[in-house]
Amino acid sequence: MMQVSDIKWSVSEKEVAQNAFESAYSREIDALMKEVCEKASAIADLQDVWKLHDFLSARRHEIEGKYDYKYPILIFVFAQLVKEGWLQLNELEGLEASKLSKIAAIARMS
Amino acid sequence: MMQVSDIKWSVSEKEVAQNAFESAYSREIDALMKEVCEKASAIADLQDVWKLHDFLSARRHEIEGKYDYKYPILIFVFAQLVKEGWLQLNELEGLEASKLSKIAAIARMS
């Protein structure tokens, strides 16, 4: 069984990880802002307003839960970001091969 | 003490009340949609997105609570709408004088 919570991160790995994390976050936030503006500009009635509210509630909950920069869970965070397309595996170059393979393997799980 | 919940509404009064209620609702919803579009078009960063979400949460809660068309509480509903400016007292012409004076009196309370 993988003990990902015991994985150690070197100083240079932490730097790679922080940059990758911030890149993914920035991409997802940019996409969110674009989507909010599109939805808002298409508002035609009150239902659209409440749909925008529901959308924001769900996205806020999801984003606040997902971008949790803690080393014991970072393998899982990166795997999810790769799976969702906010991060490419090659942006994690500089991490140990064993970390990269764990991230890739978890990202492939459905 | 006013027993507003015992007040009877005639058929013609119900028609006046329904029209006034719908006018106020329509005005407030139009203003809300305009405000949402303005806020959305001014979104510059993630904080603005979450501020829009907070704004929508508060307005939705308020509007869903306020527009409650039930005769036992309608005097209070109209008083609040008058106080907030979504309804003018003269749009309630056709109601009994005693109802109008109750609505006006409650609307003047702070």
**Nearest CB partner across the interface for B60, out of A39, A41, A53:** A53
Q: Evaluate whether residue B3 is within a structural domain.
A: no
pLDDT band at A56 (very low <50, low <70, confident <90, very high): very high
Cβ of B41 within 8 Å of Cβ of A43? The answer is no
Q: Evaluate whether residue B83 is within a structural domain.
A: yes
**pLDDT for residue B32 is more than 90:** yes
> Which tens digit of pLDDT belongs to each residue from A13-25?
999 999 999 999 9
Q: How far apart are CA B36 and CA B39, in angstroms?
A: 5
Shortest Cα distance, chain A CAs vs residue B82, angstroms: 22
Return the structure tokens found at A37: 């503006």
Q: Span A28-39, mean pLDDT? A: 92
Other CB atoms within a 10 A radius of the CB of residue A51 amount to 13
**Beta bridge partners of residue A95, listed in sequence order:** A93
Residue of A35, A38, A45, A49 best to disrupt the B interface, most CBs of B under 10 A = A49
ipTM (interface pTM): 0.80
- CB contacts < 8 A, A to B, total 51
Question: What is the enclosing helix (H) or strand (E) of B105?
Answer: helix B97-108
Q: Evaluate whether residue B84 is within a structural domain.
A: yes
Tokens 């990166």: give the residue. A78
Q: Evaluate whether residue A2 is within a structural domain.
A: no
**Nearest CB partner across the interface for B49, out of A33, A46, A50:** A33
Nearest to B37 by CA among A42, A59, A9: A42
Q: Span A23-50, mean pLDDT? A: 93
Look at residue B61 in the predicted model and tell me its pLDDT.
Answer: 96
Q: Which domain holds residue B17?
A: 11-108
Question: Chain-wide mean pLDDT for chain A?
Answer: 93
Q: Which residues are CB-neighbours of A68 under 8 A, at least 6 positions away?
A: A77
**Beta bridge partners of residue A93, listed in sequence order:** A95
Residue of A26, A27, A30, A56 best to disrupt the B interface, most CBs of B under 10 A = A56
Tokens 């994690």: give the residue. A92
**Nearest CB partner across the interface for B43, out of A33, A50, A53:** A33
Q: Check CB contact of A54 with chain B, cutoff 8 Å.
A: no
Give the largest CA-CA distance in chain A: 53
The full 3-state SS of A4-51, as one line of letters, equals: HHHCCCCHHHHHHHHHHHHHHHHHHHHHHHHHHHHHHHCCCCHHHHHH
Tokens 């919570």: give the residue. A5
Nearest to B79 by CA among B54, B46, B42, B104: B104
Q: Evaluate whether residue A83 is within a structural domain.
A: yes
Structural domains of chain B, count: 1
Q: Evaluate whether residue A4 is within a structural domain.
A: no
Look at residue B110 in the predicted model and tell me its pLDDT.
Answer: 58
Q: Evaluate whether residue A23 is within a structural domain.
A: yes
> Which tens digit of pLDDT belongs to each residue from A78-95?
999 999 999 999 999 999
Contacts 24+ apart (CB under 8 A), B46-52: B46/A29, B46/A32, B46/A33, B49/A32, B49/A33, B49/A36, B49/A56, B50/A56, B50/A60, B52/A36, B52/A56
Q: Evaluate whether residue B1 is within a structural domain.
A: no
Q: How far apart are CA A81 and CA A72, in angstroms?
A: 16
